[in-house]
Amino acid sequence: MIVKKIFLIIHILAYKIVRIKAFYYSKLFKRCGKNFYLWGNCYIKNPQKIEIGNNVSINDGAYLNGLGGIEIGNNVSISALAKIVSTSLDIKVFKIEKLHINKKITIGNNVQIGVGAIILSGMTIGDNVIVGAGAVVTKDINSNSIAVGNPAKVLRKI
């Protein structure tokens, strides 16, 4: 019983430490608004090229690579294990070399990126959008819509 209590305290403390990590990233980002939360361990590359609005939360295991630039609006939640990757390989020269092409990803206001979703480089997601669990976003998603699947397609407007 005592072991369980100790482990529970450690577990809670681990999440408290994540608050420090959120503060650390908020200083590394190109821009970071109010109320930025990390809920668990996340992986963030090139934070200096990532812009974050107000009320943004990133959940356990999410991966963001800001190499091509990532701009995230206000009231955005990035669910666990989602991936936002602003770099890709140039297919034209793939046989010769592995040349990266970096393109900015823009995410609007009031957006939920579902658990395990993948947002590819160059994509723009409008305002009031839900990207469903496991979706792979290969084309822009207009405002006021729910998009699901691989490749992601609009399920319905909201």
Ligand X SMILES: CC(C)(COP(=O)(O)OP(=O)(O)OC[C@H]1O[C@@H](n2cnc3c(N)ncnc32)[C@H](O)[C@@H]1OP(=O)(O)O)[C@@H](O)C(=O)NCCC(=O)NCCS
**Bond before 47 cis per omega within 30 degrees:** no
Helix (H, G, I), strand (E, B) or coil at 156: strand
In the set 114, 118, 123, 129, which binds ligand X (CB under 6 A)?
114
Q: Which residues contact 131 (CB under 8 A, 6 or more apart)?
A: 111, 112, 113, 114, 117, 119, 125, 137, 141, 147, 148, 152
Residue closer to ligand X (CB basis): 18 or 154 = 154
Compute how many residues bind ligand X; rule: CB under 6 A. 11
Q: Interface residues for ligand X in 66-95 (CB under 6 A)?
A: 79
Residue closer to ligand X (CB basis): 43 or 149 = 149
The alpha carbons of the chain give a radius of gyration, in whole angstroms, of 17
Q: Does 155 bind ligand X (CB under 6 A)?
A: yes
Of the candidate spans 63-71, 85-93, 99-107, 144-152, the one that interacts with ligand X by CB under 6 A turns out to be 144-152
Q: Does 133 bind ligand X (CB under 6 A)?
A: yes
Residues 148, 141, 98: CA angle, nearest 5 degrees: 90
Residues of this chain that interact with ligand X (CB under 6 A) are 79, 114-115, 130, 132-134, 146, 148-149, 155
